[in-house]
């Protein structure tokens, strides 16, 4: 089990990626990133073992005590990211671009 260097409490966890059998997870509190770690995906709920998923987690004594998949937040964040990408891809070229 991975030790997570965060105070006890509730966090929003964002699974950034899962590569080579390890999940990179970023933790947020009040909309601010407060830490990250690399853990075994098995420490996450089954429906939260893929990239770009949002989880509500409780950290207790340096470990994930509970984790719950948040499908609505996952979809909303995905839609926001797609909208940003779409806006950037539609911007007109600058004077230096042809």
The confidence score (pLDDT) of residue 10 equals 97
Could you tell me the pTM of the whole model? 0.77
Tell me the average pLDDT across 24-36: 94
Q: Residue 89 — pLDDT band, cuts 50, 70, 90?
A: confident
The confidence score (pLDDT) of residue 39 equals 94
Task: Please check the confidence at residue 92 and state whether its pLDDT lies above 90.
Answer: no
In tens, the pLDDT along 45-87 reads 999 999 999 999 999 999 999 999 999 888 887 666 566 666 7
Half-sphere CA count of 96, side-chain side, radius 13 A: 0
Q: Could you tell me if 27 and 10 are in contact, meaning their C-beta atoms sit under 8 angstroms apart? A: no
3-state secondary structure of 85: helix
């Amino acid at each position: 089990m991975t030790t997570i260097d965060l105070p006890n409490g509730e966090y929003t966890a964002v699974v950034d990626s899962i590569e080579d059998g390890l999940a990179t997870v970023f933790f947020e509190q009040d909309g601010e990133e407060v830490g990250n770690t690399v853990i075994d995906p098995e420490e996450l709920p089954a429906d939260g073992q893929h990239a770009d998923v949002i989880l509500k987690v409780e950290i207790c004594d340096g470990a994930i005590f509970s984790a719950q998949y948040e499908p609505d937040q996952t979809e909303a964040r995905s839609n926001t990211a797609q909208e940003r990408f779409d806006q950037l891809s539609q911007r007109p070229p600058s004077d230096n671009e042809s």
